[in-house]
Amino acid sequence: MPPLTAPQVNKVLNKIRFARLLGMRVSRMHRDGITLACPIRKNLLNSAGVLHGGVSATLADAAVGVAIHRHLGSHRPISTVEMKINYFRPTSEGTVFARSHLLRIGSTLCVGRVDLTDEQDRVLGTALVTYMLLAPPAPVSSHRQASASK
């Protein structure tokens, strides 16, 4: 299948309710990944007054997941199986960007690296995210449906 188009990629991102809650949007698409953007709002700050680490982690996770969907050109089910994130610098205003780079697309596992930056292109952190490609749900046969309804 060909890679997803920009409108299709936005549709994938908008299906992630938490991404919508955080205000994530697709900023750019690249040959090897995508860039997501998240505007920083007061309700996303932690008790120290800086962006909560969970927001950055979610942004990194979504950047790889959506990039995988774009690359595969389908809506095959996927799931995060591992994520490692390093935070380098706090931020409290502006926009955070997550630029994903798909490093490996295998038959069952996909690995991506994410660079987290601010509007001045300062590096805020980096993440390594591993996803598993899940098998599509098996179709329910008419025999199984009849047995289940008894």
CATH number at residue 70: 3.10.129.10
Q: What is the pLDDT of residue 144?
A: 56
1 domain residue, yes or no: no
Distance CA 61, CA 81 (A): 10
Asked whether residue 65 is assigned to any structural domain, the reply reads yes
3-state secondary structure of 130: strand
Identify residue 17 by its one-letter amino acid code. R
Instruction: Quote the pTM value.
Output: 0.88
Considering the domain boundaries, does residue 104 fall inside one? yes
Q: Which of 5-14, 18-27, 46-55, 126-135 has the lowest mean pLDDT?
A: 5-14
Length of the chain: 150
**Looking at per-residue confidence, does 40 or 76 come out higher?**
40
Q: What digits encode the pLDDT tens for the residues 78-121?
A: 999 999 999 999 999 999 999 999 999 999 999 999 999 999 99
Confirm if 45 and 51 have CB atoms less than 8 A apart.
yes
Total number of domains in the chain: 1
Residue 38 has pLDDT above 70, yes or no: yes
For residue 41, what are the domain limits? 6-148
